[in-house]
Every structure is written in structure tokens, then in C-alpha cells.
Homo-oligomer: A and B are copies of this chain.
Amino acid sequence: MSSVRNARVLFNSHPESYPIPGETIVYDTTKTIDLQSIPLNGGFLIKTLVLSVDPFLRYRMNPGVDDHMGSFRIGAPLDGFGIGVVLRSETPEVQAGESLNNSIWTVFQEYTVYPALGELQILKKHPKLPLSVYLGAAGMPGQTAYLGWKAYADAKPGEVAFVTTGAGAVGSIVIQLAKQAGMKVIASAGSEEKVEFMRSLGADVAFNYKTTDTRKILEKEGPINVFWDHIGGEITDAGIEFAADGARILSVGYISGLNSSTGWPQIKKFHLVGLKSLHIHGILVTPLLEIPGYLEEFYEVMPRKLVSGEIKYVEDLTMGLDQVGEVMLAVLKGTNKGKAVVVVAEE
């Protein structure tokens, strides 16, 4: 019986604003694990392969998060979306060698014993898609984009869409869905490189929100019929102000408030919701997956379109569990490119 290192990423302190690698979250190598003899007690042992680094992890670093996700506990490892491979199993429906993915309870450590399948799913991978894509375009972000759009965009040819964080894992897919629906697409992101990327995806009007006033663009290129809103606050107000009558607003996160401990930005234009007969839909992936037929359609359509190139995706892979803090910071500051994934180990 020999033990190996079981490195972890621990939540260490509540951040005031941006999390600080090495302080807010700490890479810890003090633990070991005996892979052959650790008792499974009817569960199974997973070797973590890839982990997804998402903005909502920052939200869970706030104290007092009382929704279904909950706050991270100080001294405990982070958890989120990830994929691992089964090393040993005493659970009948789980076999060694299988990959398991997509639970937000994937623990950010190298090896973990899970007591039961729970919210983990057995992954049926397309042979031509890398595993990491199942954390991005073929995973939760792809599901958010494809199924959220399907359920609530009500897109019509010739209408105008506005997509924020259009170079991100979700937004980059939404741009392509909007173009394929025959819409004119306005898209924003935070660097010239991302603006170029959004143009390459088909965005008709792509701009850098750091150097160009979003309201001026919408005033000139709107009114908008579908608004894919990742930002919240002032940008939501701009979208409401320049929305066409009957427009659909998909509220997918609220980045403008994520790194603030002083509260969430307010909305000043809400009275226009009634006056313009707007429809606002808060988008979470879980309720979308519960709509009958939706997840089946996603796995039927999306991996095929990703392999064929009909829908393009970009990944930003970083090697090493010790890099989670830096990658988290890059995601929150918007300096990463494409879906941020940390590769913990090779298959």
C-alpha cells in the first residue's frame, strides 16, 4: 500500500473584490491518498481530469449565499463543474474507466471518493470531441446558450440581437445561433482581439465596451429585439432603453455585481418593462435541462455541429490544479480567451 499526493484547492478567505490567488484560494499539497486501499463504502473513487473555471465560483465566495449553490466554506475545497475518470467502484451503475461529468459538486482536488452517483452523470462522449469541450460548448455553457436561446429568444429573421461577453464560452455560441436565425447581431467584449474573434463568428457590429459607449452603439444600431445580458446594472438599463416593443431579454448572470462587496448595481429603467411589453427571462441551466426533450436534443445536435465546425468554439486550457486561482482571476477580469478549463491530469 502506497500513498500518493492528493492536492486540493482550498477556499481560504472571503474576497473584498477580485479574489487573490494564494490568499482567497490556496493550493494545498499536504494530503495524500492510498488509491488501492481507501475504503469506498459503496461509493467510487474518481481521478479528476478537467475542471471548469466559471464566474459563478466568485459569487459563491461571498458569505451568506443561501440559494441552492450555497457559499463556499472556509478551509474546504472548492467545487464546481468538472470531469473525472472512475478508478474503482462499489456502485453498481458506475464502472471503472468511465468518465463522469457535469456535477457542480466535482471537488477541486486530484482524487475524490464519492458516496453515490448523485448529480454526477456518466458521460457519453463523441469520439471526435476532446473531453474538455464537455465543460464548454458541449457542456454547461453550451447548454445555457443553446437551450436558453431555444426556449426564450423567439428569434425572427431580420430582427436585431445584442450579445454581451460575445467572446465568452456562452456568448460566442449565442452570436452564431443568432446569425443562423437570420438576425443582425451586435456583440460586445472587452478587448480588440475579442472584437476580431466576434467578427469571425459573424457578428455584424462588434465593439469593445471599454472604449466605445454601449448606449451609443445601441442607439445607432438598435432597437434590439433579443438582448443576451451577462452584465446587469447599467448595461441592462441600456438594453431596456433601446429595446424594441415586445423584446426578449435573457438575463444570464450579473457580472457587474460579482466582484463587488458593496451590493448589486440597481436598475433605473424597469418602468419601461411594462410600457414596452418586454419579456425578461432569468437563465439558469438546471430548469432548462428539466424541460422535456431539451437535454436529449442538445446531445443529439450540439456535439455533431461542434465536430463539423458548423458551430465554432475556442478553449483556453491551463495545465495544473495549482493554476486555478490565476485562471479564476483571468476569467473575472476578462483576460482569458474562450472557455477556461484547468487540466488536472491527462486521461
Residues of A at under 8 Å CB distance from B?
A: 67-68, 232, 236, 245-246, 251-254, 257, 263-264, 266-284, 286-287
A-B contact pairs, 27 of them (CB 8 A): A68-B245, A232-B271, A236-B270, A245-B287, A251-B273, A252-B274, A253-B274, A254-B271, A254-B275, A257-B271, A264-B269, A264-B271, A266-B266, A266-B267, A266-B268, A266-B270, A273-B280, A273-B282, A274-B283, A274-B284, A275-B282, A277-B283, A277-B284, A279-B281, A279-B282, A280-B280, A280-B281
Assess the B282–A232 pair: CB atoms within 8 A.
no
Assess the A274–B270 pair: CB atoms within 8 A.
no
Docked pose: A268 CA to B233 CA in angstroms: 10
Known: A232-B271, A257-B271. 9 other contacts (CB 8 A): A67-B275, A68-B245, A246-B287, A274-B282, A275-B284, A277-B281, A278-B280, A279-B281, A279-B282
Write the chain B residue with the least CB distance to A288. Answer: B277
Q: For A270, list chain B residues within 8 Å (CB).
A: 232, 236, 251, 254, 264, 266-267, 270
Q: For A273, list chain B residues within 8 Å (CB).
A: 251, 280, 282
Q: For A274, list chain B residues within 8 Å (CB).
A: 232, 251-254, 282-284
Q: For A284, list chain B residues within 8 Å (CB).
A: 274-277
Docked pose: A277 CA to B250 CA in angstroms: 10
Docked pose: A278 CA to B276 CA in angstroms: 19
Assess the B268–A276 pair: CB atoms within 8 A.
no
Docked pose: A80 CA to B222 CA in angstroms: 30
Q: How far is the CB of A309 from chain B (nearest CB, A)?
A: 31
Docked pose: A272 CA to B269 CA in angstroms: 16
Q: For A276, list chain B residues within 8 Å (CB).
A: 67, 282, 284
Write the chain B residue with the least CB distance to A232. Answer: B271
Q: For A236, list chain B residues within 8 Å (CB).
A: 270
Write the chain B residue with the least CB distance to A283. Answer: B274
